[in-house]
Structure 1
């Protein structure tokens, strides 16, 4: 049995089975990237709910694994060299899991880097811009009288949807006919934009038919359907 006692996070979220990967997360657009990935590759794991609404990601135990205080994070008892590995940042976790399992990342080196490029595109643009739009459209930011911030993030979100729409011309997935971690990185965010944020109309989502069709295809995948609800909210 693996010894995870060196990781303080296991004191607050004890591992029932310390021999399998431990996921610390919440089903947010960033969190579901990892749960979807784990469901897709079939790697055994144990999910722990980190309630960000109660600031659990800012507890000393969680910060010991991710000093940035954000979900998701993982603890793999079977990391490189057979040693436990703690890892945070959803994009890095996607790449790690793809390399660990040999799945959802092309073997061809050029296509591999192209896939990672699109994951970085999500991390740098899709997530931050869609998140800011959500804040200024749905949450506290909506009460700000000056609508220039909202308009800025609305316009940038529309631009990014246009980038995706152009990329998907004639293709089922970001990398053509091959479903990869690039798709997994973005599905939750696009779903959230028009669902939880309710921004479908203000970003004119229906004017991006390739993105809409891609999202529908992604949400039809059984692993995606399972992953978007893991860990189950209390």
Structure 2
């Protein structure tokens, strides 16, 4: 049984989605970053960086326990362990890598910066908020153009879609369906998957 320590952030949710989609036996252990649980001594023994997510697989490579941090690494590890969601052909592999890193760095980094200037910063500067929102929408405009005529980012569904989806789901209020029709259709396709539904529970149950 894999233990996944996560919270309802984009980083945490991409890991919970991947484990659920891969069908790997696991349990999600909520780490409330808003309450400072990621800085508690017992969690720092699992991930000294004090970040989520982190994963403990007692049956890792070579039948040895594995402790792994970083959401992208956890997503790829789950997909490789399950033998699923990693494209077979070289072109699709390259596309999956490109869009996974686009989602995890450019889009994910911008979303994190938006949270800092909109929520965390004690002084809210509208110019800074507008700057990051504009950048966020521009990046999703690139995704929109790529998804036109495609069901998923790399053709068939892959780990790249798992990494991108929480960035959409948590900020969908900024992404008007009329302006992003291909993205909206892709998101509906993702949301209909039982593994995505299960992986998003930390977020959806909190919103109820």
TM-score, L = length of structure 1: 0.80
Which residue of the partner structure matches residue 227 of structure 1?
199
Give 1:215's match in structure 2, choosing from 182, 187, 205. 187
The within-5 A match list for 1:26-175 is 26-137=7-118, 139-141=119-121, 144=124, 146-175=125-154
How far off its partner does 1:54 sit?
1.6
- Structure ranking higher in helix proportion: 2
Confirm whether residue 190 of structure 1 aligns to residue 168 of structure 2: yes
| 3-state SS in 2 of match to 1:207 | coil
2: CA distance, partners of 1:68 / 1:163: 32
Unaligned runs of 5+ in 1: 1-19
How far off its partner does 1:140 sit?
4.7
2: CA distance, partners of 1:140 / 1:93: 27
Q: How many residues align?
A: 205
2: CA distance, partners of 1:206 / 1:128: 25
| 3-state SS in 1 of match to 2:174 | coil
Query: Residues 57 and 67 of structure 2 are in contact (CA less than 8 Å); yes or no, is this contact kept in structure 1?
Result: yes
How far off its partner does 1:143 sit?
5.3
How far off its partner does 1:99 sit?
1.0
How far off its partner does 1:187 sit?
0.7
Query: Residues 95 and 153 of structure 2 are in contact (CA less than 8 Å); yes or no, is this contact kept in structure 1?
Result: no
* Structure with the greater alpha carbon radius of gyration: 1
TM-score, L = length of structure 2: 0.90
